[in-house]
A and B are shown apart, each in its own frame.
Chain A
């Protein structure tokens, strides 16, 4: 497919469990972003990758959140010891090498922590 893909589309987990969310960016895009959309906080930035460079983690809400990007392509967002306030839609976006280029979003992963 030509767009950003994310998996799973929905995830239900129990409080305290770890979850992994996956993002496949658009082929050729070097920039990858994670955002979170929740009712209380709206759309908020989490983390940014540019190619193989070290990520900008300035938006991560706690040290329970981490992300990796393997080979400058696929990314995994991991949430450890999930809490109910982690329930949200996690959106991934990718963009071109030039930082000002448009970010294109995937369909998101809807996470529900019981």
Chain B
């Protein structure tokens, strides 16, 4: 069975500090996809990034960056120069293929990020 672990339950930082969220996953699939979603206080899950298992290149998108390391089954996410609006719960998710064409997501427990002004 697939599993996603987010060991950090809550992180509190002061505005402009960097925040790194840890994610460790377990899967037997050779092809899989990893995601980060953000859930602000409004409750809606907002897609942030997706990475497939064949591409370990780490990228930066604006203030977001991620570090995918297949050897350690980790997919960490960093917010640079945090802002108050970044306060939310962040979920790491792993796709799991069905017999049909679809993929269901297995989510980690989430990390609550609180950015103080």
Contact = CB atoms under 8 A, between A and B. Distances in A.
Contacts of A53: 100
A106 interface: yes
B43 A107 contact: yes
B98 A105 contact: no
Interface residues of A, number: 28
Contact of A100 (B43, B52, B100, B106): B52
Contacts of B25: none
A63 interface: no
B43 A108 contact: yes
Contacts of B45: 91, 93, 105
Interface in B70-90: none
B64 interface: no
> In terms of DSSP, what is the predominant structure of the interface of chain A?
strand
A64 interface: no
B33 A42 contact: no
A103 B44 contact: no
Shortest Cβ-Cβ A-B pairs, 3 listed: A105-B45, A43-B107, A99-B101
Interface of B: 33, 35, 37, 42-47, 50, 52, 91, 95, 97-107, 109-110
Given A33-B104, A106-B44, 15 more contacts: A42-B107, A42-B110, A43-B110, A45-B104, A48-B100, A48-B102, A48-B104, A53-B100, A91-B45, A99-B98, A99-B102, A100-B52, A100-B103, A104-B47, A107-B43
